[in-house]
Amino acid sequence: MNQNSLTDTLNVSLISPSISSYKSTDSTIKLGIMASGNGSNFEAITQAIDDGRLSAEIQVLIYNNPDAYAAVRAAKSGVPAVLLNHRDYKRRQDLDGQIVQTLRQYGVEWVVMAGWMRLVTSVLIDAFPNRILNIHPSLLPSFKGSHAVEAALAAGVKIAGCTVHLICLEMDSGPIVMQAAVPVLPGDTPETLHARIQVQEHRILPDAIALAALYPERGLSNLP
């Protein structure tokens, strides 16, 4: 395989629904982002906003890990960042209650869990019904949980990918908004496969946000 063929193979993806211009909305989407780690999906959203692909404003970043690089990215983008360390709360419901209070304080309309590594409760879900999106590194409903990439490789699948879906109480469930598939290559490790999946996460997350916000009253079964 020559270098051009290898590059083409690495860049292969299948996205559904196909990426289109979903930025035309009646108003700017007011987003609250929740992240626990590096924040690369946070940056993908800010880049899409800057490029005019997504008509939105990030009102606040909430992060639960004091060392999360997402907070550094937020500072560089001029986005308020609020640390809500889960270790400071005895119950998940107490943490979620503080998250809800913070999101409302900043006027958030839609919530995006962009690498949020904590299970959420009905306290948060009920406060933003059908308005919380999550990005997960598998083609749901396959390979739920925090080790999805490793599980996909262990199962020997030939196609992996990522999913943007609405949050419900069951982990990594809820109506699917958009998915992207990528090939699993011979010799892939969790690191190489995850890197390929992340490229597609960064592509579909901004479009999925716009798509979901355009059609909330019609239901996801009627999405184009």
Residue ranges at the known binding site for (6R)-10-formyltetrahydrofolate: 92, 117-120, 134
Q: HEC string of 101-129?
A: HHHHHCCCCEEEECCCCCCCCHHHHHHCC
Q: One of 86, 136, 165, 194 is an active-site residue; which one?
A: 136
Distances (CA, A) of 209 to 17, 98, 134, 141: 13, 24, 10, 20
| All residues at 6 or more sequence positions from 36 whose CB lies less than 8 Å from its CB, including other chains | 63, 64, 65, 68, 70, 115, 116, 117, 118
Tell me how far apart the alpha carbons of residues 34 and 24 are, in angstroms, rounded to a whole number: 24
165 is a catalytic site residue: no
Tell me how far apart the alpha carbons of residues 50 and 180 are, in angstroms, rounded to a whole number: 23
Give the rounded distance of the alpha carbon of 123 from its chain centre.
20
Q: Which residues does the annotation place in the binding site?
A: 39-41, 92, 117-120, 134
Catalytic residues: 136
